[in-house]
Amino acid sequence: MSDVTVRAPAKINLHLGVGPLRPDGFHALATAYQAVSLFSTVTARPATQWSVACDGQAGIDISGVPLDESNLALRAARLLAEHAGPAGTVQPVSLHIGKGIPVAGGLAGGSADGAAALLACDTLWELGTPRDELLTLAGELGSDVPFALVGGSASGHGRGELVTPLEDNGAWTWVVLTFGEGMSTPAVYGEYDVLHADIQLPDPEIPSRLVEALRTGDVAALAGSVGNDLQPASLRLRPALVEPLRSGLDATAYAALVSGSGPTCLFLCEDDDHAEHVAAALSAYGQVTVARGPAPGAEVL
């Protein structure tokens, strides 16, 4: 095989319930993920040395993407190689990332690269790694990486890596507002800890009405059940997000929320016409895209 390209989606958190800080430094989560139609690709090619390169699609700023051993796609390839057997079992690869998901935006763009690299290398090396083993490796790479393999809509527990598909009969339209400057996920969780320093946090749960809204595809019901426990922390660190969230609601979006740790903001709309109207009210704040969910998980092109 000369090369393999895999496409993987961005994620949004329809609900992000954050519980107590665990001894391992992660927070207990109960989240409802949805994959949306913003994608990155990873191409794996046999090579004599391990390497990774990255290009941005449609004006995406890739200056924050590390191209050393800390790159998540490269870490994924190396982890799978280690899992496959002793050194030399598989041939090194050169990886090429085509970034279609904004960097450090709360859309799990790095996790999508990791998931895509796992699947691309598994296919290139003809390993046929069982799905549950791939998901375990994905969970070692990052909390959101397993979901990028699974896609659709799903619950996430543990630190987010324990993923179970949710029935989703909706066709959801989101206006996605992204910004040039990203936010650090650990910094937002740190701010969350400061805000909850004296509070005994209960174990988080996904609202049952959200699960029901996905099953019935009812946009008003979904709007009434989305939420993000990290949002107050993100807004403390980036107060400039308050205004676009309000403007989206003023422009009749059904719901407005921060995606994951931010700064990307999400606006739930009825259909394309409605999204166009909402997008027009937001274009002064950042880059506006219309995305649809649920989108499929990582797949070989």
AA letter at 45: R
Map 180-232 to HEC letters: CCCCCHHHHHHHHHHHCCCCCCCCCCCCHHHHHHHHHCCHHHHHCCCEECCHH
In Å, the largest CA–CA distance within the chain is: 59
Q: In the complex, which residues of this chain contact ligand C5P (CB under 6 A)? A: 26-27, 29, 142-144, 159-160, 185-186, 189
Give me the least distance between CB of 187 and ligand C5P, in Å please: 9
Q: How far is the CB of 144 from ligand C5P (least distance, A)?
A: 6
Q: How many CB atoms lie within 10 A of CB 133?
A: 13
Catalytic site residue 144? Answer: yes
C-alpha 131/C-alpha 119 separation (Å) is 10
Q: What's the min distance (Å) between Cβ of 143 and ligand C5P?
A: 3
- DSSP-derived secondary structure for 105-162: SSS-HHHHHHHHHHHHHHHHTT----HHHHHHHHHHH-TTHHHHHHBSEEEEETTTTE
- Closest approach of Cβ 169 to ligand C5P, in Å? 28
Catalytic residue status for 11:
yes
Q: How far is the CB of 51 from ligand C5P (least distance, A)?
A: 22
Please say which residue, 193 or 276, places its beta carbon nearer to ligand C5P: 193
Query: At closest approach, how far in Å is the CB of 71 from ligand C5P?
Result: 13
3-state secondary structure 33-80: EEEEEEEEEEEEEECCCCEEEEEECCCCCCCCCCCCCCCHHHHHHHHH
Task: Give the relative orientation of helices 109-124 and 72-84 as an angle to the nearest 10 degrees.
Answer: 30
C-alpha atoms less than 13 angstroms from C-alpha of 147 in its C-beta half-sphere: 36
**Among 113, 122, 144, 168, the one annotated catalytic:** 144
Considering beta carbons, is residue 144 or 191 the nearer one to ligand C5P? 144
Nearer Cβ to ligand C5P (114/152): 114
Dihedral angle, C-alpha 85, 117, 51, 10, nearest 10 °: -150
Catalytic choice (11, 99, 113, 229)? 11
- Residues serving a catalytic function are 11, 144
